[in-house]
Amino acid sequence: GPGADLVSSRWIIDATRHILRTRNPDLALCYVPHLDYDLQRFGPRDPRSLRAAADLDAELAPLLEEAEAEGRTVVVLSEYGIGEVSRPVDINRALRRAGLLEVHTQDGMEYLDPMTSRAFAVADHQLAHVYVRRPEDLPRVREVLEDLPGVGELLGDEGKKEHGLDHPRSGELVAVAEPDAWFTYYYWLDDARAPDFAQLVEIHRKPGYDPAELFMDPLDPYVKVKAAGALARKKLGLRYRMAVVPLDPSPVRGSHGRLPQRAEEGPVLLCSRPGEVAGSLAATEVKPLLLRLAGIA
C-alpha cells in the first residue's frame, strides 16, 4: 500500500531467515516488495530508486550470508523489468465515451456494470484484457482503441496465439501500451462520482491494477492524519477505512508488461550455483529450474 517501504522488505527478509533456521525447508520463496514499489513510484533512473536498490542490497546481505553458510543455492528472480512511463491511458473511459461501457449508480457513485457493458477492459500495467460481449461489436471496439493515444498494439486471435495469451479467460482483444504509457482502470468521467473503493487500497474491487495506491493523496492536507487514525482503529480491532489513494494517476513513473525493447530492460535471473543457467530462460522454465535445484524434480 502507500506506506510500503524498506521496513516491509526488512520484515519479510527477517521472517525468511527465521523460517530457514527453524524449519529447514527444501524450497523457500521470498518476495521482497519495496524495490518494485519504488521503481513504480519514481521510475528506474530516479536517484531514489537507485538508493532503494542499494538499501535493499544491504538488507539482503545477512540472508545471503546465512544461506551460503548453510550450503543453500540462492536464485534471485525479477519477473519483469520496469520501464519509465509518463502517460496514463484511460482505456475504460474511452470505451464508455463510445457507448460501449455501462455503469450503475448507487448513492451518487458509479460502478462498472460488466453484465450490461458491450465492452470493458481489465487493466494490468501496460497490458489490458478487453472483453467484448458480442462478436459484431469487435470492429467498433477495435476502431475506438486503435484511435486511443498510448495504445501501441491490439492483439486479436492470431496475436494472442503468437504471444501465448490465447487462454479461455483472456479478453477478446489484448491491448499493449506504447513504451512510455500504461493503462488505468478508471471508468468514471467525473471524480465526484468515483466509486467508494477508488481511494482505498482495494485490489479485489477494482477492475485492474491501480499503481496510484502507492501514493498518498497530495490534494488532501489531512491525508496523513486520516491514515494514522485509520491505523489506530485497526490496531484497536475497530472498523476502519484507509481512504488515502489519489485519483490522479500522473505521478506514476514506472511500469511493465510490454516485451522489453532491449535485453537489459528485461527481467533478471541470478543463480549462486555456477553453470546451472546458461543463456536466457523462458518464464515457463523457471519452475522446473527451481525444482531441480531443490532436488525435488
Three-state DSSP class for residue 176? strand
User: Are the CB atoms for 93 and 187 separated by under 8 Å?
Assistant: yes
The pLDDT value recorded for residue 240 is: 46
Q: What does the DSSP 8-state code read for residue 208?
A: B
Q: What is the pLDDT along the chain (297 residues), one digit of tens a residue?
A: 566 789 999 999 999 999 999 999 999 999 998 888 899 999 999 999 999 999 999 999 999 999 999 999 999 999 899 999 999 999 999 999 999 999 999 999 999 999 999 999 999 999 999 999 999 999 999 999 999 999 999 999 999 999 999 999 999 999 999 999 999 999 999 999 999 999 998 889 999 999 999 987 666 655 565 555 555 656 667 554 557 899 999 999 999 999 988 888 889 999 999 999 988 888 889 999 999 999 987
Single out the residue of 101, 100, 183, 111 nearest to residue 148, CA to CA.
183
The pLDDT value recorded for residue 201 is: 86
Q: Alpha-carbon Rg of the chain, whole angstroms?
A: 22
Q: Is 84 exposed, middle or buried (0-12, 13-18, 19+ CB in 10 A)?
A: middle
The order of strands in the sheet holding 127-132 is 119-124, 127-132, 173-177, 151-155
The pLDDT value recorded for residue 230 is: 53
Q: Is 269 exposed, middle or buried (0-12, 13-18, 19+ CB in 10 A)?
A: middle
User: Are the CB atoms for 100 and 141 separated by under 8 Å?
Assistant: yes
- Three cell numbers, residue 90: 484511460
User: Are the CB atoms for 255 and 81 separated by under 8 Å?
Assistant: no
Sequence ranges of the domains in the chain: 6-77+267-293, 87-255
Three-state DSSP class for residue 21? helix
Question: Which residues face 122 on adjacent strands?
Answer: 129
User: Are the CB atoms for 290 and 272 separated by under 8 Å?
Assistant: no
Provide the H-helix boundaries in 155-283: 157-162, 223-235
Please tell me the distance from the alpha carbon of residue 72 to that of residue 32, in angstroms, as a whole number: 19
Question: Which residues face 255 on adjacent strands?
Answer: 83
Under 8 Å CB-to-CB from 137, ≥6 apart: which residues? 100, 118, 119
Residue 83 sits at the vertex; the CA angle it makes with 79 and 84, to the nearest 5 degrees, is: 155
Question: How many other CB atoms sit within 10 Å of the CB of residue 296?
Answer: 9
Question: How many other CB atoms sit within 10 Å of the CB of residue 3?
Answer: 14
DSSP character string of 125-140: TTEEEEEESSGGGHHH
104's enclosing H/E stretch is: strand 103-106
The pLDDT value recorded for residue 223 is: 54
> Residues, the chain, total?
297
- Three cell numbers, residue 198: 477508488
Q: Which CATH superfamily is domain 87-255 in?
A: Domain 2, Phosphonoacetate Hydrolase (3.30.1360.110)
